[in-house]
């Protein structure tokens, strides 16, 4: 049996892979590990979820499992993932639990854990939870069982925290925010309005079934239309659990995480606030980003794909800014995980402070054409060893030389192998990506 935890918690099709029974067992196992590690016989855990219908029964089973194991639970209801991380720390909880599959389709769901510091659990701790799964245990009774309460002010507290990170008002900016019918459907618009912006909210009417459905950071087309229709200065799109952000300029151009990170890195560098003059990114980061940072004397530390690896490098090196092309951006002086709403506020703050359009700010980086092909496979390990893949990859790399890059990697959350190619032209990148995808299918 493979490892239960992936790169971002436990995920699967809700009620098929991720069942109520598994959620209950995970919660009980996590409770036992937390008690052992904290030394607190009666720890508190906060639990949040996104807007998926399946989150309702999974929340109920996670809360039941924790309380049955003698852990007190604070239910946050529907909140963004970074809100769980933030409130875990400010309330002094032993851990936080978020029930979400992030940008995945609605039928999927997931469970991710945060430690007392608001950081995602280390692999060793996740392995410890797995080892405790379905082990015999003594059930508390009477007053020893955990108690459950609901925090009705969770969103308001989180919004206040977000707005408190800004040095100046967003007054005068009109911003469209695509909430993906997800966890930040109220928090993100509230935060932008509280910061002074005029806000147009779209995809902010969750019904349990429409999360990420043709909207959000993975489908910014509707946001592009809305920005143009409302004559907005910019638009921002979040994903289902609001830990990532993609932007749209006034002219409709889509701004990815690399470009957002470039703008924010340069802003902090100018202000003397970029710790060690370094920003942390992943192997997916566009070559144009590296060139832009080098031109301004900023060092780049590169990690494996996944915001947890970005965070690990940031904490190890004492860096304060890092992120991914997908839109996960981490401001370690304000948050312990990627935060789409925080990213949107900081980006709009830079627009307001400079008086320059977003399109002009991102022009600091010349993005190489990049093509990403997701090849769905039955077995990721077998696919990576497919006959001819190594030879095809070597041939493409020889052809591109220093003018492009190739990356082939298995997804950590889905049954796909991702093929990424950067090249001088879109056509060259697409042809090379198609060639590699065909080799994977052999």
User: Which residues are known to be catalytic?
Assistant: 102
Indicate the SS3 state at residue 246. strand
8 Å CB contact between 250 and 230: no
CA 158 – CA 166 distance, rounded (Å): 14
Beta-carbon neighbour count of residue 290 at 10 Å?
17
Number of residues that this document lists for the chain: 442
| Alpha-carbon dihedral 96, 99, 102, 106, rounded to 10 degrees | -170
Shortest CA distance to 241 belongs to which of 80, 82, 110?
80
CA 327 – CA 102 distance, rounded (Å): 12
CA 286 – CA 295 distance, rounded (Å): 15
In the block, residue with structure tokens 């993100």? 188
What b/e string do you get for 89-106 counting C-beta neighbours within 10 Å, with b at 16 or more? beeebbbbbbbbbbbbeb
CA 171 – CA 120 distance, rounded (Å): 35
Indicate the SS3 state at residue 74. strand
Beta-carbon neighbour count of residue 229 at 10 Å?
10
Order of strands across the sheet with 95-99?
10-13, 108-114, 95-99, 44-49, 72-78, 148-150
Tell me how many degrees the CA angle 206-331-293 measures, rounded to the nearest 5.
115
CA 242 – CA 296 distance, rounded (Å): 30
8 Å CB contact between 177 and 235: yes
């Amino acid at each position: 049996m493979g490892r239960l935890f992936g790169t971002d918690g436990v995920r699967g099709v809700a009620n098929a892979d991720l069942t109520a029974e598994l959620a209950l067992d995970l919660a009980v196992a996590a409770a036992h590990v937390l008690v052992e590690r904290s030394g607190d016989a009666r720890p508190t855990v906060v639990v949040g979820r996104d807007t998926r219908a399946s989150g309702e029964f999974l929340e109920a089973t996670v809360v039941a499992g924790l309380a049955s194991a003698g852990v007190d639970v604070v239910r946050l209801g529907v909140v963004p993932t970074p809100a769980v991380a933030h409130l875990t720390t400010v309330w002094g909880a032993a851990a936080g639990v978020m029930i979400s599959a992030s940008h995945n389709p609605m039928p999927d769901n997931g469970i991710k854990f945060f430690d007392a510091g608001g950081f995602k659990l280390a692999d060793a701790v996740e392995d410890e939870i797995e080892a405790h799964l379905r082990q015999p245990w003594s059930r508390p009774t009477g007053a020893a069982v955990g108690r459950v309460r609901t925090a009705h002010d969770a969103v308001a507290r989180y919004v206040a925290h977000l707005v408190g990170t800004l040095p100046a008002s967003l007054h005068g900016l009109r911003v469209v925010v695509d909430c993906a019918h997800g966890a930040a459907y109220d928090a993100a618009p509230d935060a932008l309005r509280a910061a002074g912006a005029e806000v147009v909210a779209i995809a902010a009417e969750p019904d349990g079934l429409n999360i990420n459905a043709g909207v959000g950071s993975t489908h910014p087309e509707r946001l592009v239309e809305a920005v143009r229709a409302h004559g907005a200065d910019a638009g921002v799109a979040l994903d289902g659990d609001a830990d990532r952000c993609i932007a749209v300029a006034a002219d409709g151009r889509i701004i990815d995480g690399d470009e957002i990170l470039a703008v924010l890195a340069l802003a902090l560098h100018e202000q003397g606030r970029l710790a060690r003059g370094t920003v942390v990114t992943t192997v997916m980061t566009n070559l144009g980003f590296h060139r832009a940072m080098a031109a301004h004397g900023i060092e780049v530390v590169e990690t494996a794909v996944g915001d947890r690896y970005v965070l690990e490098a940031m904490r190890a090196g004492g860096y304060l800014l890092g992120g991914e092309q997908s839109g996960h951006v981490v401001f370690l002086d304000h948050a312990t995980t990627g935060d789409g709403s925080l990213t949107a506020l900081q980006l709009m703050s830079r627009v307001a402070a400079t008086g320059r359009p977003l399109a002009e700010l991102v022009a600091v980086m010349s993005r190489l054409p990049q093509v990403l092909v997701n090849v769905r496979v039955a077995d990721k390990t077998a696919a990576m060893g497919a006959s001819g893949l190594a030879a095809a990859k070597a041939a493409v790399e020889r052809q591109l030389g220093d003018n492009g890059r190739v990356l082939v990697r298995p997804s950590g959350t889905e049954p796909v192998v991702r093929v990424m190619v950067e090249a001088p032209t879109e056509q060259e990148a697409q042809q090379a990506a198609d060639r590699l995808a065909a080799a994977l299918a052999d």
